[in-house]
Amino acid sequence: KIHQPSDFSGDRLEASAFLNICRTYLRVNKDAYTDDEDKVIFVLSFMVGGTAAPWREAREEDAFTVVSGKEKGFGTFNDFVTEFKKAFEPLSPTSDAITKLKALKQTGLAED
């Protein structure tokens, strides 16, 4: 058994790690999450606060929209992952690296 993912607020610098831990958790628990809808709903359940909550709410609203007498549903997990990456992963790997470098701070003495 592994820990469930932490809540995701939409921080682009944490998006890839969040998605990876979700996918790992789903793989380990493949007997509990057997179809695409279960997987999508699982990931959405951790998207709270920040920019993630409105994005989740829009996906839920779309899934429950009735078209020709039938709900649209959540679609495939692969399509969800693609949408998630477009919405939350850094726009540019270069700018992501620069942002991470700017956040670095020395702790302790240089001699250490």
- pTM, full prediction: 0.78
Q: Residues 6 or more apart from 27 whose CB is under 8 A from it?
A: none
Q: Give Cα 69 distance to the centre of its chain.
A: 30
CA distance 45 to 37: 12
pLDDT computed for residue 103 by the predictor = 76
pLDDT computed for residue 92 by the predictor = 72
Q: Which residue has the higher pLDDT, 75 or 1?
A: 75
CA-angle at 54, arms to 52 and 56, nearest 5°: 65
Average pLDDT over residues 100-108: 77
Asked if pLDDT for residue 96 goes beyond 70, the answer is no
In the chain, which ranges are continuous DSSP H helix? 12-28, 36-44, 52-63, 77-88, 93-103
What pLDDT digit, counting tens, does each position of 1-36 carry?
A: 788 999 999 998 899 999 999 999 999 999 999 999
| 77 phi and psi angles, rounded to 5 deg | -65, -35
Mean pLDDT of the chain: 90
